[in-house]
Chains A and B, each alone.
Chain A
Amino acid sequence: MAIGVKVVSRPGSLGQQTYLPAIAEGLGVTFRHFAKNFIGNLVGLRAKTDIVTIQYPEEKKKYPERHRGLHRLMLRDDGQTRCVACMMCPTACPAHCITIVPEEAPDGRIEKRPKIFEIDELRCVVCGLCAEACPCDAIRMDTLEHAMPTYRRVDAILDREELLSRGTRSEAKQGGVGAFWREKVKGEPQTPPAANVVPAGSPPGPTEKSKQES
């Protein structure tokens, strides 16, 4: 033969050559996992097992605070929309999914308000620049909801009333809170961090994130 064949003897003892101890060890590992998960799940101690399954929709993963979801329009103390139709959010929007037609506000202190406020959720890329650009805390994306699929395109366009229906009163100061808006008031108790999984039967509502006044 032109090519030499090198016969290499397999090292190790008889157990290593037959693989029987390794097979027994592997079966032991899988059986240990099975026994722990099975018994724990059977007696209702899911938290003590290693099972990573989250049973949606009975159990949901808790979204982080910075999650960007469906839009909502916030309200002023008197129930009116905080939006003053300053056109900053459609200007900042890279997908051009926000349409605002302003009208004159009856309140003498406020110059404008939106007559038409529409967000096309089919075009929205959920970047959050509209909420970032808004100087009045009028638009937020903290609903922790997703844009649901619809059978008709027109149903995916949210109008002003629908956006306001998700809104709540905002305590933000008109025109922003200045350079120290992130500073917390001293002495205010800090809320403990929430668990990762919300228990079944309590659907999460919109998180109330009121910005603190300076």
Chain B
Amino acid sequence: MEYGTQAFDALAATAKILFMILGFAMPLASILTWLERRQSAMMQDRLGPNRANIGPIRAWGITHFLADALKFMFKEDFVPPKAHKFLFMWAPIMAMAPALIVSAIVPFGAPLCWGHILDKGSVCESPVPLQIARLDAGMLFYFAIASLSVYGATLAGWASHNKWAMMGGLRASSQMISYEVTLGMSILGSFLVFGTLEPSAMVAQQTSFLDVHDLAHSWGIFSQPVGFLLFLTAAIAETKRTPFDIPEGEPEIIGYFVEYSGLRFGMFFLGEFLEIVFSSAIIVTIFLGGWHMPDIFGLNTYLMEHLPNIGFVLFSMLIWGGKVFLFCSFQLLIRWSLPRFRSDQLMRLGWQRLLPVSIANVVLTALVILYFQSR
């Protein structure tokens, strides 16, 4: 198959989709369901679920997510009699599909040199970008698709024919829509610094870990620390997890999926962890250098020059995956450390604190860039 043709691009995109969804996102989201319980147990001086095993294989109980999957399958698929059948069925898909679609714009490794995967050196004539869809407006695509997950929560609450579930759905939609504004505004500063909306171009610019003389080519967290903090807070609110988990505070107030059982609830459950994975991927891409490794003792430069292209590509994928994994663990740490907000505190924080700070951050960034460009 000829490089650069439409059939080649379609085949490459299919391979990337299979790797990203089936090879990375689904296993990581499944492992996170077990990792959350074990990490929280370790934080609370316990051992956690370590006994799930397949015959003699136990591996710290890592196969617990298989038991969870079997439990979801064997539960009764209950549909309330007066529920809206179509929307009741469609809501879990609306909750899970946007979490999977946003993976299209995430770059997960260095470009692959087609036909020269065993060559050394950094010059590449036929690059295959490790990114499912390269769009010039990639981050706008992310915001557009992420907005659709509001429908999952709202439709689930509305279609259940349950007033409590509807209230839960309204709480979820108000929270997600409120923090979406901060999510978009907080990242505008990074767009100004990098001068692009394309995630792969953003990663390509973060070549240095920290260069005080050239912050635009350092990791995004150093040029936009306030933006990083705001984006992280808004991203946690978008995934509806502690300290922003009022929509699904099951022990205290009824959430929007109270009528869901079995695999339908499993889709909400796994969709939440997929959102954690991909919000971590976005944060790693924009603020933590993507697949770049800090050039400690010149190791990254050495590997780039001496490894074959396929070796360096695999190494960069490992770096990217490791960063995403560590950031997922950081989000689990946040969940089990902070208490939950009250509803009025939640809204006040979002509209009166985070949004003004993010707008000020954009204006300040614009002024600083204008000042440096005029010198």
Interfacial chain A residues near B333, Cβ < 8 Å? 27, 30-31, 34
* Minimum distance in angstroms from B64 CB to a CB of chain A: 16
| Choice from A23, A27, A37, A55 contacting B42 with Cβ under 8 Å | A37
- A67 CB-CB contact with B under 8 Å: no
* Minimum distance in angstroms from A28 CB to a CB of chain B: 9
How many B residues are at the interface, by size bracket? 10 to 19
Write out, one digit per residue, whether chain A residues 31-75 have a CB within 8 A of any chain B CB (1) or not (0): 101100110010000000111110100000000000000000000
A8-33 contacts to B, CB under 8 A, are 23, 26-27, 29-31, 33
- B44 CB-CB contact with A under 8 Å: yes
| Choice from A34, A41, A55 contacting B43 with Cβ under 8 Å | A34
Q: Which of B42, B333, B336, B338 lies at the interface centre, i.e. has the most chain A CB atoms within 10 A of its CB?
A: B42
* Minimum distance in angstroms from A200 CB to a CB of chain B: 14
Contacting pair B47 A55 (CB below 8 A):
yes
Contacting pair B39 A27 (CB below 8 A):
no
- B45 CB-CB contact with A under 8 Å: yes
- B46 CB-CB contact with A under 8 Å: yes
- Complex Cα distance A26/B334, Å? 9
| Choice from B42, B337, B338 contacting A41 with Cβ under 8 Å | B42
- Complex Cα distance A41/B334, Å? 22
| Choice from B43, B45, B337, B338 contacting A52 with Cβ under 8 Å | B45
Contacting pair B43 A30 (CB below 8 A):
yes
Contacting pair A27 B47 (CB below 8 A):
no
Contacting pair A51 B337 (CB below 8 A):
no
- Complex Cα distance A26/B337, Å? 6
Contacting pair A33 B47 (CB below 8 A):
no
B37-59 contacts to A, CB under 8 A, are 39, 42-47
- Complex Cα distance A49/B338, Å? 23
- Complex Cα distance A114/B47, Å? 50
Contacting pair B45 A51 (CB below 8 A):
yes
Interfacial chain B residues near A49, Cβ < 8 Å? 45
Interfacial chain B residues near A55, Cβ < 8 Å? 47
- Complex Cα distance A49/B337, Å? 20
Q: Which 6 A-B pairs have the closest CB atoms?
A: A53-B47, A37-B42, A50-B45, A30-B337, A30-B43, A34-B43
- A-B contacts, 22 listed (Cβ < 8 Å): A23-B337, A26-B338, A27-B338, A30-B43, A30-B333, A30-B337, A31-B43, A31-B333, A33-B42, A33-B45, A34-B39, A34-B42, A34-B333, A37-B43, A37-B45, A41-B42, A41-B47, A51-B42, A51-B47, A52-B45, A52-B46, A53-B47
Given contacts A23-B337, A51-B45, A52-B45, 13 further A-B contacts (CB under 8 A): A23-B338, A26-B337, A27-B334, A27-B337, A30-B333, A31-B43, A34-B39, A34-B42, A38-B42, A41-B47, A50-B45, A51-B46, A53-B47
